[in-house]
Amino acid sequence: MPHSSSAKKRARQYEKRRLYNRAYKKSINTALKTFQAATPEQANEEFRKAVRKLDMAAARKVIHPNKAARKKAQLARALASRSGSGPTAPTK
């Protein structure tokens, strides 16, 4: 247990951050599983949602940017093999 007040505060901050990161990672895993379970018609939309989640997580340092890039490449390969064509560029 921390003794100083600053160490106690840091422990509280770590706990909040840990819970936030766990929830965010759970939402990423849910998006990835939803993509895997999607029909070929829905796959492109689910791909975009999953890629967006990965990009946001990497930007917020919840996951490492290289891990996000690796997962995105895996998803793109899965989408290409499933539909026979590559992913479309997301529209803004």
Question: What CATH number did the domain enclosing 23 receive?
Answer: 1.20.58.110
Per-residue DSSP letter, 85: S
For position 87, what pLDDT does the model report?
A: 60
Q: Is residue 92 part of a domain?
A: no
Q: Are 69 and 84 in contact (CB under 8 A)?
A: no
Q: Is residue 57 part of a domain?
A: yes
83 pLDDT higher than 90: no
Please state, in angstroms and rounded to a whole number, the distance separating the CA atoms of residues 34 and 13: 32
Q: Is residue 72 part of a domain?
A: yes
Domain total of the chain: 1
Domain residues for the domain of 50 are 5-83
The verdict on pTM exceeding 0.85 is no
Per-residue DSSP letter, 71: H
Average confidence score pLDDT of the chain: 91
Q: Is residue 45 part of a domain?
A: yes
Please state, in angstroms and rounded to a whole number, the distance separating the CA atoms of residues 73 and 78: 9
91 pLDDT higher than 60: no
